Chains A and B, each alone.
Chain A
């Protein structure tokens, strides 16, 4: 049976990761599964675990008072769900809901934050991997904000 370390090692997010760092991250990881419709987390919850999707689809939602939730992005296989665990106050700013049966690796945020603090080389490697994801999502949000398909 594959270990979590093996699975994480093959995940694109950890491409080029040192084996020792892989072991450290795997020590904070667990397999998780979400049924369709189940929330991975909700806005305001403590950001104590983030997820690497192995299979399935997750919708990111924002709630407007008095309206149904607005889905502004979906994430699928190979993608990362959640960045609020990186920065204080470590609370989710949005909700994540499984659109279909979703299998993922959950990584304990407090555990990993502690290891990153103890080993800044590991922390820098994590930041180097998260920053491009955040920038890509920022760029995509800018394009969405332009509402380019509307009547102009």
Chain B
């Protein structure tokens, strides 16, 4: 069977809707025809709210289970706002999946550090599921999550569940808290020196606001992790998702095609260039 036209949105239906945080929901989408395509942890879809527009949203569900596409969306603009207001039964257009995934094959045999900032945990969640599905292939798996406040921690119940596992280390930190919060307070890169990482054996997967990723990459480098072992999921203005329109051009890369997951050593030189 021929692959669907990547420019043509396919009709999908909202099967479930869960409010995660103020202004953020998780949508489970089922295809109105056919089956859910395979996807790699780290990839994204283009979600089209008819009459409003289209936006790139990372996949945040388990790539190996279920029949739905799972997306966690925060209301930050017209399209994402419309997505967060969709009710169960609503139809939207879906194109994808697109882009590169997390380098989970390369991570085999290594310790894996996942660093998430805010909603950056959503694109990392499929990687966590994949690591847990083949847990014996990896060394230490450490998840660090930074949030604005305790109330803004995404997937909090799931994080608590992961934290209780003996084969997973979960460190949470928030930027601001009141005296009732007994966890860490401070930025997520500050956790890195205290994780006892073996820099030679660690591969880092990082997702969050770009400035947070730059600070995190600096902390990872300071901890001795080599630049080629650091992977960032970039957010740029993806429109066509097939490297035609140029909106997401990032130096020599199209984030929609070569990314969103890009190796730090390939982008370090352009990461802090304001014009790029």
Contact = CB atoms under 8 A, between A and B. Distances in A.
A binds B: yes
Interface of A: 57, 59-61, 68-74, 76-78, 97, 99-100, 136, 139-140, 143-144, 146-152
Given A78-B194, A149-B152, A152-B76, A144 B178 contact: no
B197 to A, nearest CB: 15
Tier of interface size on chain B:
20 to 34
Given A78-B194, A148-B118, A149-B148, A71 B178 contact: yes
Nearest to A67: B178
A143 B209 CA distance: 11
Nearest to B191: A76
Interface string B117-160: 11100000000000000000000000000111000100000000
Contacts of A72: 175-176, 185-186
A139 B190 CA distance: 10
Contacts of A77: 194
B178 A148 contact: no
Interface string B44-81: 00000000000000000000000000000011100000
Contact of A71 (B181, B189, B208, B209): B181
Contact of A144 (B75, B187, B194): B187
Contacts of A150: 148
A59 B189 CA distance: 17
Given A147-B148, A148-B117, A151-B74, A76 B185 contact: no
A139 B187 CA distance: 10
18 contacts: A57-B182, A59-B185, A60-B185, A71-B179, A73-B186, A74-B183, A99-B182, A139-B215, A140-B186, A140-B187, A143-B187, A143-B212, A148-B208, A149-B208, A149-B209, A150-B148, A151-B74, A152-B76
Given A71-B185, A72-B185, 4 more contacts: A74-B173, A143-B211, A144-B175, A149-B147
Contacts of A57: 182, 184
B86 interface: no
A146 B188 CA distance: 14
B118 A149 contact: yes
A97 B177 CA distance: 14
Contacts of B146: 149
A contact patch SS: mixed
A149 B185 CA distance: 14
Interface in B189-219: 189-190, 194, 208-209, 211-212, 215
Contacts of B186: 72-74, 140, 144
A149 B76 contact: no
Nearest to A37: B179
A113 B148 CA distance: 38
Nearest to B215: A143
Given A76-B194, A143-B211, A150-B148, A71 B177 contact: yes
A151 B23 contact: yes
Contacts of B148: 147, 149-150
Given A74-B184, A74-B186, A140-B190, A68 B211 contact: no
Contact of B209 (A69, A74, A136, A148): A148
Contacts of B215: 139, 143
Contacts of B75: 151
B179 A97 contact: yes
A107 B23 CA distance: 48
Contacts of A70: 176-178
Nearest to A68: B178
A132 B215 CA distance: 16
Contacts of A139: 215
B115 to A, nearest CB: 13
A140 B75 CA distance: 27
B23 A149 contact: no
Contacts of B209: 148-149, 152
Interface in B243-260: none
